[in-house]
Each structure stands twice: as C-alpha cells, then as structure tokens.
Homo-oligomer: A and B are copies of this chain.
Amino acid sequence: MLEDKSQKLTSVEQLGEFGLIKHITQNFGIKNSTTELGIGDDATIINPENKKVVISTDILAEGVHFNLGYVPLKHLGYKAVTVNLSDIAAMNATPTQILVSIAASNRFPVEAFEEIYDGIALACDKYKVDLVGGDTTSSQSGLLISITAIGIENSENLVKRSTAKPNDLLVVTGDLGGAYAGLQILEREHTVFLADPNMQPEMEGYDYILERQLKPEARTDIKAILEELAIKPTSMIDVSDGLASEILHLSDQSKCGFRLYEEKIPMDSLTISTAEELNLNPVMCALNGGEDYELLFTIAPEDFEKIKNHPDFTIIGHATDLDQGNMMVARGSGELITLRAQGWDAFLNR
C-alpha cells in the first residue's frame, strides 16, 4: 500500500483528528482569488465574483472503485481529484476549489494519509484548484474518499446535458476504452501475483493504458480550445461510465436520439491490441468500459468546418429525433444496433 515500505509508521490516534488535518493540509496554499477563506473555519468562503458556481461530488470506495492491491495511494489521491474536476469541465466551467473528505479504518497510518494528500496536492497544483475544506474520520473498514469540486464560471459559458438538438454533431475528445483495458491488465497481473507473490508483473509496453486507468486527467484544457475555435457545445457530459451510458444520458436529458458510427469511435492502437490480447471486443471497452474522463458533447451542424480535422476531437455521430432511438451504426454492415447502458455501475460490478 505504501510506496516506502521501510518507513516508521505513525498511528492516527497519536495526532488526533484535528492534528491530522493540520498536519496534512499545512502545505496547501491558496491560488485562486475566489477563495476568500480556506481550511480552518466552519465553512469555506467563496467569492464568485458575479459569476455562477457549479458544484459536483463523487465518492471513491475501496473494493468498489479501487483495489489497493495495485493502486498506489498517491495515484488514488490524484485520481480522486481529477474525476471530480472532470465533472466541472463537463459543465464547460473552470474548477477552482475542492473539499476532500476521507474515511479510513485504523489500518491506515498517518503516512497513508500523507501519500493520498501528496497525490491530491499534485492534482491541485496541476489544475490550479484550492483545497478549501473537508472532513477526516475513521471507518469500520476500508478507505473512502468523497470529494466535492467547485467551479466558477460566467453564466453564458455553462453547458448542460439537456440542450442538444436533432442534427447536432456528436463529438468526443481524446480516445476511449484505454482506462478499461488498463484495468484488465492490472487485474490480470494482480491475480498472478496473488497466486505466486514471486512472479514479476508483466506491465511493460502497457504504459499508456495503465496511465489512463491509474492517473487519468480531467479535460479542463478543452474549454480554451473550443473558445479558440469559437465553438460553444450545445450539450456536454464527461465519459465516466462508458460512451453508451453517456450518450443515453444526453438523450434522456435532451429528449433527442443519437446515431453513433462504430468506425468513428477513437481508440488508441494499444487499447485495441490489448483488448484483442484479452479476447475483449475493443469497441465494447469504449462503449461500456468507462473511466476515460474524456468529454462528450454536441455542436451545431454549422460548426462542422471549425472542428473537422482538429486533432483533439472526433466527430462520432449526430443527434436525431427522439423516436429514432439511440443506435450504433455497425462498421462495414451498417447494421443498426440499439445502444444500451451496460456501463460500469457501482452496485453491479462488485
């Protein structure tokens, strides 16, 4: 679990709750002018500077969202932040603050909290967000991280899920399925390790997809790129539960259907080769794998020329009337396949 296995460990009891909070948060500075009061009072004070405030929260639970058998605590802290910032990016807003609550059983020493917060600090630095509050408590068993992310943005920039229109183009950033393929490699090697702890894990050559799984980034860069292109998405969502599930969310909220072209789904060659190595359908990794934290959005048809050859974006389909349903057009055959949300569900995939 800990990176340096030889260090002397400190029990949380030795510091107490308030001592622990002080200890682990002392090096977090304030980077945003909107942070009027940070950690240490009953609540943080945010000055929205006449803008809107967007707020989102997500829990990561041990044994459900991560396995400490192969997820380093520092990566976990980093990822817990980025998956929350991804929700703010999906509103086309700029993340500015986070609150971090952690519940951990007494098997976690102070040094474990330090590693988690090292990862949180790294993400805060990279994304220029301030840690402004939270709570730390013990739990009966396991580790739980609950993060609330805050973004501040001009009203006219915000993009909801509910405002796509028929004929809008469906666009996705980056590539999909990699995080799921990476998870499969981690699970495989962990199983091998559990069977024989002397076996060396075979991780070489999988770097890109392992990074997609262990250290995903939030696409907070997309907002500026779209502004440069003079495009405002007509609707947007982040890809956390798989492309199929997210398309259905857009459909449900916008009251339109979608047509997705299988051959257009962007996938990295390593994702494809790994999926094939593991006897998985690569497209299913993209549709149902989840955890890619790319942005999925719609744009008005007249914006096609502005985006068509941009390396950050792929046009993968378009919106239709609701009664046309949500369909994937199969590669080659052109067969219409109904999209279903078989994505990752915290209550099913246990």
List the interface of chain A (C-beta within 8 A of B): 12-13, 16-18, 20, 36-37, 40-48, 50, 52-59, 61-65, 87-88, 90-91, 93, 97, 99, 101, 103, 106, 132-142, 144, 146, 148-151, 155, 158, 160-162, 236-238, 253, 341, 345-348, 350
Contacts and interface: CB of A to CB of B under 8 A. Distances in A.
Most buried by B among A54, A141, A142, A146: A146
A292 B309 CA distance: 62
30 contacts: A13-B348, A16-B348, A17-B347, A17-B348, A18-B341, A36-B52, A41-B91, A41-B162, A42-B88, A42-B238, A43-B91, A43-B93, A44-B54, A46-B52, A47-B53, A47-B155, A48-B48, A55-B55, A55-B133, A56-B133, A57-B135, A58-B135, A59-B135, A63-B140, A64-B103, A64-B138, A64-B139, A64-B140, A137-B347, A138-B350
Contacts of A158: 45
A50 B140 CA distance: 43
Contact of A57 (B46, B101, B347): B101
Contacts of A161: 40-42
Given A47-B52, A59-B103, A64 B137 contact: yes
Contact of A151 (B18, B43, B149): B43
Contacts of A63: 139-140
A88 B18 CA distance: 19
Contacts of A87: 42-43
B62 A53 contact: no
- Copy count, this protein chain: 2
Contacts of A12: 347
Contacts of A91: 41-43, 45
Contact of A53 (B42, B46, B93, B139): B46
Given A16-B345, A137-B346, 4 more contacts: A13-B347, A40-B253, A57-B101, A59-B144
Contact of A142 (B18, B41, B141): B141
A345 B59 contact: no
- By Cβ-Cβ distance, the 5 closest A-B pairs, closest first, are A43-B56, A42-B90, A146-B146, A137-B346, A63-B140
A309 B47 CA distance: 37
Contacts of A37: 160
A145 to B, nearest CB: 10
A50 to B, nearest CB: 6
Contact of A55 (B46, B47, B90): B46
A56 B37 CA distance: 12
A11 B133 CA distance: 34
A99 B57 CA distance: 7
A236 to B, nearest CB: 8
A141 B141 contact: yes
Contacts of A40: 161-162, 253
Contacts of A155: 47
